Amino acid sequence: MTDPIVRTTAGDVRGRWRTDDAGNASAAFLGIPFAEPPVGELRFEAPVPHGAWLGVRDAGEMGATPQRRPYAAVTSIPEPSFPGDSTLNVNVFTPSPTVSADPLPVLVWIHGGGFIAGSPASPWYDGRAFNRDGVVTVTVSYRLGFDGFGWIPDAPSNRGVRDWLLALEWVRANVAAFGGDPDRVTIGGQSAGGGAVLHLLAMEQAQHLFHGVLAVSPSAPAVKAEVAERIARRMAALVGVEPTKAGFATVADEDLRDLFDRAATGEGGRLAQLRSLLAGSPSGPMLDGDLVPRPVAESIARGIGADKPLVLGATDEEFSGAIMSHRDTLRFLPARVVLGALGLRAGLRGAYIRANLDVRARGVAATAGRYVTDVVFRAPSLQIARNRADAPTWMYRFSWRSSVSGLAEHCLDVPFWFDCLAEASVQALAGPTPPQALATELHGRAVDFIASGEPGWPAWNEGTQIDRVFDATSLGATSVDESGGYAGAAPLLEA
């Protein structure tokens, strides 16, 4: 079969046909640059659209990645790094690489990794299953860590956010040539990627670029400008440079991550660092008064993005693993004391425990783990749903527990959303026999949402508080939780 060639606004690209085990054909176009390499004079600048090229550019291999080496402490997802300067790329997976009178819906996926790590080149993000089900899939890269989000007084703020915007502009201008519909673009992401799509949902400048949002375990911290400035100045002092573009340009990009870690990580042991995380991540989009003028929840409360359908939710035990490893020690302590050590103020501890009696019955460590999960993921998602009022919003919970960890933990649901349980490293996280029926169900709901704007279960509102529960025993669109599955996180919104 002849390699497919597609004409983009910058020039022609040559992809590769693939066939899955069932004989479904799709084409992959990898490493297409949407911006000039962010190096040299462009290193700390806003992204510049990539110039035109002559001839046919080969798109058969993954492009260079902003991540220089995997950061295993951040994610359980296999996310490889590739060297090179041209790191701002898109990967396009399509069943029909041609302009069509009946174009297909599009998913644009933004990877996670705490805004400091991650890669669009993960085999888990391959769009093969979405292509099988009639969805064009695009994965995008963006600058990470200090290069993408650090405070530099004489550089544009939120450079990583500007990368998202330019990548979406590229999709709008080019996806029709790959068989996609630019008027049916859903942006999706997990963890920091989920936070990214929520930031875009809340951003006035981005509203014309997408039509729906799938926020999987979203973490959308609002880094205060003064915090970002303090970290940047400390970084500069550690290496003896001025906190400017010229000063930071003398620091190799592969060294900036370690420097950022030294400047941003709180002192003390594991508990102190965890409590620091709960108080607010130092990584991610900064409140700059421009692209990000206010926290996401506040912008959503003002009605921004209210016309866009939104699916959001979390796993039941996102970050519980960090606590459960200390269960033997914690079982001797009162739950109120442990919650206080994690930062929950005294007046809310009793209410929180009463709202989570089912979790409390599993022990102190389980209660503390749920609290960490609620602070970082579940309570913010509940706040987003509340702030959207009558805007079309669907909530879910991923409750299936891995046979490896015994938890419905962070990242576990990603291979179910992408229906790729046979991919590398899935068994290490999920166990040897993850339920394919659950992947079929979860992936199918995602396809329905991308194609129609509705995922197939009742929408959430303050009156009903219905959420969809995904586990191995509650399959089918009618399997919903009408008791308010996020009610356990509600006391934290009073803090």
383 phi and psi, to 5 degrees?
A: -65, -40
Q: Which residues contact 441 (CB under 8 A, 6 or more apart)?
A: 470, 475, 476
The single-letter DSSP state of residue 266 is P
Amino acid identity for residue 14 in this structure: R
Amino acid identity for residue 279 in this structure: A
Q: How far apart are CA 191 and CA 39, in angstroms?
A: 27
- Decide the pairing of beta strands 89-94 and 16-19: unpaired
- Tell me which residues are annotated as active site: 191, 318, 410
**Strand partners for 26:** 18
Q: How far apart are CA 71 and CA 78, in angstroms?
A: 10
Q: How far apart are CA 38 and CA 90, in angstroms?
A: 15
Element (H, E) at 495: none
Q: How far apart are CA 452 and CA 108, in angstroms?
A: 16
Least Cα distance to 387 among 264, 288, 284, 305 occurs for 305
242 alpha-carbon distance from chain centroid: 33
